[in-house]
Structure 1
Amino acid sequence: MSNRISTVAFIGLGVMGYPMAGHLARAGLTVRVFNRTAAKAETWAKEHGGSHHPTPREAAEGADLVLVCVGNDDDVRQVTSGDDGALHGMAEGSLLVDHTTASADLALKLDAACRERGIGFIDAPVSGGQQGAENGALTVMCGGSERDFARAVTTLEHFAKAVTLMGPAGSGQLTKMVNQICIAGLVQGLAEGLHFAEQAGLDQQRVIDVISKGAAGSWQMENRHATMIEDEYEHGFAVDWMRKDLGICLEQARRLQARLPVTALVDQFYADVQVMGGGRWDTSSLLRRLRAVGHL
């Protein structure tokens, strides 16, 4: 198979995958899609002109590059290695890229399974959320060989502002863990700061206007403070997904003997939010938890 990428398969059309696949179609690539809910794949194909297929295997047939963006390790295993998984339809010399935030162990196993078939593999979790996917401005953290990365990078840049090779297979997932560890502490700090300002009788928006210009500024502060002040969380990255990601981080940390006390604590705060019925709320809902605790 040629090194040129002209036909791609996209497996998983959720809030991230749907726009990501759309960017590829708009770039002129032939895009073949699969989604567990077939109606969504049909809608995507009507909107973007690609083709939809009943199984990952059929979507992957004839594709130079197969991209996966699903929910968790089990989902990845099902759509890649299951009876109708993409690996069974991929040709020798093609390339599999997994954008799912999953475990580093799974990345290593997928890499080995691909090598046995003469298929390249890159674990490539993304950061930037739904907004980043829709705007084509994701950050992609990659693990794999330099050769496979060189083949894939131009295609990935159709929906990303930064695509970086971090090391061998698994390195992308490990880097994404660092990303989630950092976010957890930032969001809790922002929630505590806004809660403190509210309790002190300060104008929260004015406080943010001032401190965001200095060392306290962050993506979370810029993009989440307004909805947090309004107590609005029906948007963004769900608490359920964050807890899934933090679970991966904490398990890997145990193996590495890395200490993550703040991450473990914030994970339990998110468990409190789930008990409050906020599993689908944005991760910034940590402020609602503080407000609830303050009224107990």
Structure 2
Amino acid sequence: MARVAFLGLGVMGFPMAGHLAGRGHEVTVWNRSPAKAQAWAEKYGGKVAATAADAARNADFVMACVGNDDDLRQVCIGPDGAFSGMGQGAVFVDHTTVSAAVTRELAGIAADQGIGFVDAPVSGGQAGAENGQLSVMCGGDPADYSRAEPVIAAYAKICRLMGPSGAGQLTKMCNQIAIAGLVQGLSESLNFAEKAGLSISDVVEVISQGAAGSWQMQNRHKTMEENRFDFGFAVDWMRKDLGICLATAEDNGASLPVTALVDQFYKEVQQMGGGRWDTSSLIARLRR
């Protein structure tokens, strides 16, 4: 069992940290809103720290799941950042979806301090976090990954080292690119069924058994039909992720025409007041 700090207790981090405690790890948590950290401790019995540095002090592993590049920098190297509390040989595991550039920047700083750094963004949404069934895609030094993987296993369905620092974030971009086009296609399919006077449930029952089937179709078609979009990953966060994908494609020469188009469709959803709706809300703009 390891001494673990967990930084960031949002809809993903809260249950992920809980799984670590459930596996018997000694967990200390920190959150920008202290009340959330206190609520976590009352539920799972771990410790609460006043700062990220305090949480990281004496920890073998420091996990983070925050918002964006700036949040991650603040948590790592800002005043009272985790790096100032971590000892040599400790490993920082970043579950935030951020740019590969900030990952490499922070990994370099960590290396200069004798700290390991693994970028480990996740996929599976809130349900995956709560059920301990996340897909975790990692980048970093193989030795650091080998040490961290048994700890990550507390909430992972699959965990894999994809390459050097930044490779985990690049793999997460592949994930978000695939989801964007898939959800748009599903939205158009279900909207077409409605316009054609077909039963969405009957259509999905048939086509989900063939080549059109997907996790999104199986798990979101009913709520999409009912115009309920309070499940899973928010549009605001998806636009942040797609922005990272599009910026990276500018650098590496990849062509992302569908991703760019769907990003603008999500912008329309935001303008409809749906920034906190889940990503399946693409169908809402087709129904206007």
Place the TM-score, normalised by the shorter chain, in its bin.
over 0.9
- Please give the secondary structure, in 2, of the residue aligned with 1:158: helix
- Aligned partner (choices 234, 237, 244) of residue 233 of structure 2: 237
**Which residue pairs with 1:160 in the alignment?**
156
User: Are 1:200 and 2:196 matched, yes or no?
Assistant: yes
Separation in 2, partners of 1:217, 1:234: 22
- Aligned partner (choices 45, 52, 71) of residue 48 of structure 2: 52
**Which residue pairs with 1:218 in the alignment?**
214
- Aligned partner (choices 25, 28, 36) of residue 32 of structure 1: 28
- Please give the secondary structure, in 2, of the residue aligned with 1:91: coil
**Which residue pairs with 1:246 in the alignment?**
242
- Corresponding letter in the other structure for 1:77: R
Shift of 1:148: 0.6
Separation in 1, partners of 2:27, 2:156: 17
Shift of 1:235: 2.4
**Which residue pairs with 1:92 in the alignment?**
88
5+ long unaligned stretches in structure 1: none
User: Are 1:289 and 2:279 matched, yes or no?
Assistant: no
**Which residue pairs with 2:143 in the alignment?**
147
- Please give the secondary structure, in 1, of the residue aligned with 2:169: helix
Shift of 1:156: 0.3
- Aligned partner (choices 53, 57, 79) of residue 61 of structure 1: 57
Shift of 1:47: 1.1
Q: How many residues align?
A: 288
- Corresponding letter in the other structure for 2:206: V
- Corresponding letter in the other structure for 1:259: S
Separation in 2, partners of 1:46, 1:288: 39
Shift of 1:85: 0.3
Separation in 2, partners of 1:229, 1:49: 40
- Please give the secondary structure, in 2, of the residue aligned with 1:140: strand
Post-superposition Cα deviations, 1:99-131, rounded to whole Å, max 9, x if no partner, equal: 000000011011101100001010000000000
**Which residue pairs with 1:130 in the alignment?**
126
Separation in 2, partners of 1:6, 1:282: 35
Shift of 1:46: 1.3
**Which residue pairs with 1:23 in the alignment?**
19
**Which residue pairs with 1:274 in the alignment?**
270
Separation in 2, partners of 1:236, 1:83: 32
Shift of 1:6: 1.2
Query: TM-score, normalising length from structure 1?
Result: 0.97
**Which residue pairs with 2:10 in the alignment?**
14
Shift of 1:252: 0.2
**Which residue pairs with 1:256 in the alignment?**
252
Separation in 2, partners of 1:234, 1:68: 24
Shift of 1:280: 0.3
**Which residues of 2 match residues 116-127 of structure 1 at below 5 A?**
116-127=112-123
Separation in 2, partners of 1:50, 1:234: 29
- Please give the secondary structure, in 1, of the residue aligned with 2:287: helix
5+ long unaligned stretches in structure 2: none
